[in-house]
Structure 1
Amino acid sequence: MQYRSLFASALLAACGLVQAQDLVILPAPTEAWKVTVGHWEAQAELKGDGVVAPAPKADYARASHAGASAHVTAGSRDALTFEWRDLWQSMLRVESRSPLDLRPFAGGALEFDLHVAELDKGGLSVKVGCGSGCARAVNLITPARASAGKGWQHLALSMSCFVREGADFSAVTLPFALEGTGSGQVSVANVRIVRDARPGLACPDYRTESVTPAMLNESWAIDWWKPRHEQKLQEKRQLLEAGTPPEIVFIGDSITQGWEKGGRAVWDRHFAPLHGLALGFGGDRTENALWRLQHGEIDGIAPKAVVLMIGTNNTGHRAENPETTAAGIKRLLDEIRQRLPRSQVLLLAVFPRGEKPDDFLRGINRRVNKIIEGYADGRNVHFLDIGPALLQPDGTLSREVMPDLLHPNEHGYDIWQRAMAPTLQRLLNKAP
């Protein structure tokens, strides 16, 4: 590994990519870096002036697009343009042909010039690798949208933005990448990693992100997330004005929001008679649910029971350390107990995801569940893991229960209700 890192450094120096104290990614000779563009299903390498990745096979994405082009002068790529359309995930990756040792840059910054041609219906993140199976992205949607139509803008991010526990910068093959959601077109130039720290954009601290209240700032959520929050406040007011305050409240992410979609028939049979309030928001991580609770969603009510199930987006979007996700869940429990001191809280284990028992993200969720099980006190907070009821005897997850191996269908919500019913009924009877 040391030999390969030295070889990579020599190659970069020979190509003129190590200048003074900087690692120069653009401009660079066309052969210096491997540049690919694509999405979750397929990628294509940029070898000439432009390339388009094959479209995903799913019907809903067959008309989508992910492409890249290069501005080349005298055999050197001066700038890259990344264009994507109707994709929930797309990426432009600049990869080293041999592992790089980025430890000398740990106290420095990533700098680049960004030109945003279109981003009103999309989002943008920048990512840097941090070892085998490790990469961290920083959301750029706010500064990127603000710079649209304003020409080239210089951005800088501290390299600390890409550090997390277990990061290994001694052998990095992904020194720079852009990730897009929705639709957009951006160009980058003058990309470099410098050794000295520079003033730059702020980024979340991965150690406290899950416990720091925040609105969901994703391209696919901006238009509906805050209005849905306002809608839920109005729904709560209507229940109170009708003299039918909610006896049960569900708090969570898209899986909880699904009670209003695929689980509607099950909800109408079992929870509508309790004037249930479903506070599930697609894409929410723990910090987003915390923001909602602190902005009135459970104020002024006293339900007999609260069902909390959240965390799979912390692990899925950020591959977060289980202890960090668990800390976010603990913070939510504290907020619920503070605002609803007389309610019984049923804390559900994060549902299994992925088809097989050894699925990477399912494994993280299992580790989260082992921690949060200890939050139950047997008096006001109770833990229940209904995961086994959702799985086949061999531990696999069936698409007949979760068609996308994450979100239940009506059959899955029926299993959820039946598996939870004995415990939930006991808590409803126990509450004052």
Structure 2
Amino acid sequence: MPLSRRVALPWHLLGRLLAVSALTVGVLPAAHAGSADLSLYSGQKAGSLPVTLVAHDLSAPMQAGAPLVLSGAGGSASVQPQREAGRRNALLLKWDHAWYAALRLTPARALDLQALVPHATLELDLRVAQLAQGGIDFKMACGEACQRKLSYVVPGRALQGKGWQHLSFSLNCFARGGDDFSKVDVPFALEANGAGEVALANVRIVAHGKPNQSCPDYRSIAFEPSPLNQAWAMPRWMQRHEQKLALKQQMLAAGTAPELVFIGDSITEGWENDGKAVWQQYYAAYHALNLGYGGDHTENVLWRLQHGEVDGLQPKVAVLMIGTNNTGDRQDQPEVTAAGVARILQELRQRLPQTRVLLLAIFPREAGADAVLRRINEQINVRLAALADGDKVVFANLNSAMLDADGRLSTSVMPDLLHPQQRGYTIWAEAMQPVLTRMLASQP
């Protein structure tokens, strides 16, 4: 799969994987009083949760501490007991060429951790043997619509070769306002991609722990400028940024400054691939510039704008669509993602004061209208509409053109139910053309 398509994890597959792993029988009680520490994994001792290994669309429980290997088109992953001095109950996890791999500890019944959230920590011992070509995240989940992930790519790479490290994270790194942590069905998961090797041991929840690791504030992460720090995107993301800066300068020097700029994530970047012919037909005459980057969240777009991508330009219209990775990657709350988009609009107004912005609703994803991520995006879109003034910022929702009569998204439009193929880009261009023509022809 080309990198430009590797943007958001296919969460519709994750739902099925979680369903499989939930069948694994655990031994911890459904309720927890909130006053004592809770061991999640300590080897074969009583009280440890079962281990489930995932490699892309494959999933299997670890049996009686025996090594387990999964391998398929989406990469390979393995887990085996690792006995070392002082950590006789460790697990060694390896993965290679993996778009998605995971090690999950999953109880038979959801755990009640609600009372623990204000003062408890999730703690583990971690040894990073190899992570130069991969990345890891830690996750807890309290239902399909409550997948709380903490990226550990950069700090994880910093621990490579430094032996065992004790990590302690506040549960507040995972729980958000409104979350029901009385129903935690995945109290711990280590997710990975690329290639790597790590060992972990002594996974537990400490009722009155002291964190030694920091985490971003979920309420502001969407509008705090940051490069994209995901293993599959590094260093390609920064290389693309440098290339776009150079292309901008070339266009200005040649007297072909763009009248039209597209800003977004991989869905926008795809105009350079599946949408190339459609782009040529509709936008080449405007010397249009594509500033779409695979994997981008709102905070990544904000960083790019603050680091020169539109400086010196005076396009008539900037087309902005961003936010589906906030949803698919972190399940950001709709108001948080919308705040990130609002901050981008402020940045564009500051840097491109004469440019009108066509703000697009985030495209539908997943097949059905009732799918979790589709619903989150629709809640964001309601908030995005309120950011437009109908003049300098015009909002357009083109989503109905992408859907069947019953509201379903077809694989003939988006084969992976996220990224358009050529037909999808044709639908996009045709649906957008009337409003775009009006905006290009008039001044704000």
Aligned 8 A contact 2:193 2:231 in 1? yes
How far 1:23 moved relative to its partner?
Answer: 1.8
1:21-420 to 2 correspondences below 5 Å: 21-30=36-45, 32=47, 33-52=49-68, 54-56=70-72, 60-61=73-74, 64-71=75-82, 78-106=89-117, 107-130=119-142, 133-420=145-432
How far 1:154 moved relative to its partner?
Answer: 1.6
Aligned CA distance change for structure 1 residues 162 and 156 (closer, same or farther; 3 Å): same
Aligned 8 A contact 1:110 1:157 in 2? yes
Render the CA deviation track for 1:207-265: whole Å, top value 9, x for unaligned: 11111111101000112011111111111101111111110000000000001111111
How many Å separate the matches in 2 of 1:120 and 1:364? 34
Structure 1 equivalent of residue 19 of structure 2: none
Aligned CA distance change for structure 1 residues 31 and 37 (closer, same or farther; 3 Å): farther
Count of matched residue positions in the alignment of Structure 1 and Structure 2:
414
Aligned 8 A contact 2:139 2:150 in 1? yes
Aligned CA distance change for structure 1 residues 263 and 169 (closer, same or farther; 3 Å): same
Tell me which structure has the larger Cα radius of gyration: 1
Q: Secondary structure at the match of 1:29?
A: coil
Which amino acid is 1:343 matched to?
Answer: T
How many Å separate the matches in 2 of 1:51 and 1:272? 55
Q: Secondary structure at the match of 1:188?
A: strand
Q: Secondary structure at the match of 2:315?
A: coil
CA RMSD of aligned residues (A): 2.3
Aligned CA distance change for structure 1 residues 354 and 100 (closer, same or farther; 3 Å): closer
Render the CA deviation track for 1:174-210: whole Å, top value 9, x for unaligned: 2221001111111101222212241412111111111
Aligned CA distance change for structure 1 residues 431 and 152 (closer, same or farther; 3 Å): same
Runs of 5+ unmatched residues, structure 1? 1-6
Which amino acid is 1:341 matched to?
Answer: P
Identity fraction in percent: 48
Higher RCO, 1 vs 2 (CA within 8 Å, ≥6 residues apart): 2
Which amino acid is 1:281 matched to?
Answer: Y
Runs of 5+ unmatched residues, structure 2? 1-26
TM-score by length of 1: 0.90
Which amino acid is 2:109 matched to?
Answer: S
Which amino acid is 1:23 matched to?
Answer: L
How far 1:165 moved relative to its partner?
Answer: 2.4
How many Å separate the matches in 2 of 1:96 and 1:31? 13
Aligned CA distance change for structure 1 residues 390 and 11 (closer, same or farther; 3 Å): closer
Aligned CA distance change for structure 1 residues 77 and 47 (closer, same or farther; 3 Å): farther
Q: Secondary structure at the match of 1:324?
A: helix
Q: Secondary structure at the match of 2:386?
A: helix
How far 1:133 moved relative to its partner?
Answer: 4.3
How far 1:24 moved relative to its partner?
Answer: 2.3
Aligned 8 A contact 1:44 1:51 in 2? no
TM-score by length of 2: 0.88
How far 1:423 moved relative to its partner?
Answer: 0.7
